[in-house]
Structure 1
């Protein structure tokens, strides 16, 4: 499955630009609307989609994504239903890489071997599991790699050069650089520092480096795209979902388009930056 990720980054490099990676929460605000949003993302310009696994205690996430997870859980979303949404998405889109992002607890409860088998069959390409450090690679990372799923690791501003080789040892697909110290959606990154950090990470790995946390607008996306191989946007899209809901927290006829419109703006920002290495 990692081949789909590699092909997508190769395509972006051939086009002389960074990739746009978008995050939405599975099942938010309900399964059918969540699927419609997921299907709309590539059409609006997303190159890779991250799909959140709802969890009741998302310690790395800010209030926006916490609330999205609670909305999804309230609507009955669980791991089985999330994999089913991926399967339904994959039936119409054979090319866009799908990354599941979340925490180990739901996977552990589901059963690691069963989860990896079902995820691969559904069409998942990779995993981001934020509470699985390298010291615990035997729990999930190495089994995922053996199953053909990329295990994508996070690097942060506090990941120094001594720690970085350990973090990168079994990373596949791409490296996700968290541009701020803190939770998702909490602040806007220092774009100059981001470029320096990406350069440092790339001295340690040939993998693409994508940057997320705090990217909210097309202008932010363009600034990140100057120095990174990809730009991740999550909380801003989840906020677009929330802002479109009615007083009872239900989807409206504006919900899917609210997300797609923002993605189009972000894609325009990313595509406005021509990479120096372009042929």
Structure 2
């Protein structure tokens, strides 16, 4: 059993929902980013999503785009992201890490080489937003063969005809995007999310985690109450963009985690 499956098994025994936090690797700089990453588990984060910056982030809103630009301007690369994960794993061999990004940097690195490097560094899962299920041979199936979960996004426009295709090779968990559009665009509503989560869970035994549009502890609690947990990204990245000290960012994260865990 991998770290992601172990995490959800533990949460089920504790009757708790998962809190997943996103940060952009290397934002605002590698040192600060690693400090925040190392502090996330202590702030209540169950799974870390680590963004891989890319020059053309088509699915990201302004907050995440700017974070990626800051990271790239600071010299962040795929190899440095792997170094971050290795440094994190020196002190934490339990918290699952999911790398979220786009296919181009992975392709440029070489798929087999990347998967070997990712596994050795301690990466547990991948979310690659620009690889549809029709391209599973490119990365999804090789990742699964290496023991790395490949996590799919389902959206409000993923209808019943499309859903089985989305779920067919998904592992780890399903990431339900609560709103149509880019990251950080609007507020998620549990009345709309709940029926969609139920529809997905009728088709899979995997946990369903909801992201996009969650900015407050109350919103985290509300959304987590109708799913297996929630993801917060733009709100956390926004705190880093304001130049908040690491301790204040982690305090903000702790509040969000507390909201998700009381659901």
* Cα distance in 1, alignment partners of residues 86 and 133 from structure 2: 29
Partner of 2:255: 265
* Cα distance in 2, alignment partners of residues 91 and 239 from structure 1: 28
* 1:182-233 deviation per Cα after TM superposition (whole angstroms, max 9, x unaligned): 0000100121110110000000000000000011010000001111101000
* Conserved 8 A contact 2:3-2:96: yes
Bigger mean CA deviation after superposition, 56-65 or 256-265? 256-265
- Root-mean-square deviation over aligned CA pairs: 0.8
* Cα distance in 2, alignment partners of residues 133 and 259 from structure 1: 34
5+ residue gaps, structure 1: 245-253, 274-279
* Cα distance in 1, alignment partners of residues 247 and 195 from structure 2: 35
1:10 matched to 2:15? The reply is no
Q: How does 1:1-279 map to 2 (within 5 A)?
A: 3-244=2-243, 254-273=244-263
Shift of 1:13: 1.1
Shift of 1:267: 1.4
* 1:16-44 deviation per Cα after TM superposition (whole angstroms, max 9, x unaligned): 11100000000001111110010011010
State how many pairs are aligned.
263
Structure 1 runs (4+) deviating above 4 angstroms are none
What is the DSSP-based 3-state SS (H/G/I as helix, E as strand, rest coil) of the residue aligned with 2:55?
coil
What is the DSSP-based 3-state SS (H/G/I as helix, E as strand, rest coil) of the residue aligned with 1:89?
helix
* 1:231-256 deviation per Cα after TM superposition (whole angstroms, max 9, x unaligned): 00000000010012xxxxxxxxx431
* Conserved 8 A contact 2:184-2:234: yes
* Cα distance in 2, alignment partners of residues 54 and 105 from structure 1: 11
* Cα distance in 1, alignment partners of residues 259 and 239 from structure 2: 18
* Cα distance in 2, alignment partners of residues 46 and 143 from structure 1: 28
Shift of 1:263: 1.1
Shift of 1:138: 0.3
What is the DSSP-based 3-state SS (H/G/I as helix, E as strand, rest coil) of the residue aligned with 1:159?
coil
What is the DSSP-based 3-state SS (H/G/I as helix, E as strand, rest coil) of the residue aligned with 2:57?
coil
* Cα distance in 2, alignment partners of residues 197 and 256 from structure 1: 36
Normalization by structure 1: what TM-score? 0.93
* Conserved 8 A contact 1:120-1:149: yes
* Conserved 8 A contact 2:188-2:223: no
